[in-house]
């Protein structure tokens, strides 16, 4: 007689499956400190958040993450070794579990644009509109000041000497 079969193994996650950084339950502690990027130019403009308890991922997810980070770094991978803490402060943060908000305005993706690309495009359009308004204001101010300077010049010419 065949042996009794146990529960079927869970299917392997898709390589792009999201990783639950904060699973349901109590708050998740993170350590935070200021640091730098790990690829040139190693700019010191990063706030690092390190989860106190490791997140378990499958080998497939680990390979997918490795390949994605390697591609994002232009093929250099993690270029920089761990740096001494020095005088930097490490703070403890408590992550909370909450449902991500749904955008109030639907994002209109064009062609194969990612949501991030659409947000950058929209932000860029807003910046261009602001810059155009500022240029229009500056042009008007220039006309006003030029007119005032000419009026002052002309009034000074009319004073008898």
137-161 residue pLDDT tens: 888 888 888 888 888 888 777 666 6
For residue 38, name the pLDDT band (cuts at 50, 70, 90): confident
User: Which pLDDT score, from 0 to 100, does residue 65 have?
Assistant: 83
Alpha-carbon distance of 103 to 109, in angstroms, equals 13
Model pTM?
0.46
Sheet holding 46-51, edge to edge: 46-51, 28-35, 91-95
Neighbours of 129 (CB within 10 A): 10
Q: Which residues contact 134 (CB under 8 A, 6 or more apart)?
A: none
Residue 41, pLDDT above cutoff 70: yes
- DSSP, collapsed to helix, strand or coil, labels residue 47 as strand
Residue 43 has pLDDT above 70, yes or no: yes
pLDDT band for position 1 (50/70/90)?
A: very low
Q: Is the pLDDT of residue 83 over 70?
A: yes
- Name the helix (H) or strand (E) containing 34: strand 28-35
């Amino acid at each position: 007689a065949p042996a009794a079969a146990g529960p079927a193994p869970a299917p392997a996650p898709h390589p792009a499956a999201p990783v639950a950084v904060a699973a349901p339950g109590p708050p998740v502690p993170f350590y935070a400190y200021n640091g730098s990027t790990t690829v040139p130019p190693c700019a010191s403009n990063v706030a690092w958040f390190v989860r106190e308890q490791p997140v378990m991922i499958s080998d497939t997810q680990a390979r997918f993450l490795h390949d994605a980070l390697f591609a994002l770094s232009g093929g250099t991978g993690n270029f920089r070794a761990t740096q001494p803490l020095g005088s930097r402060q490490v703070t403890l943060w408590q992550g909370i579990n909450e449902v991500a908000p749904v955008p109030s305005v639907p994002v209109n993706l064009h062609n194969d644009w990612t949501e991030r690309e659409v947000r950058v495009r929209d932000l860029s359009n807003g910046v261009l509109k602001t810059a155009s308004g500022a240029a229009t204001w500056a042009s008007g101010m220039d006309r006003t000041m030029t007119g005032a300077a000419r009026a002052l010049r002309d009034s000074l010419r009319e004073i008898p000497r």
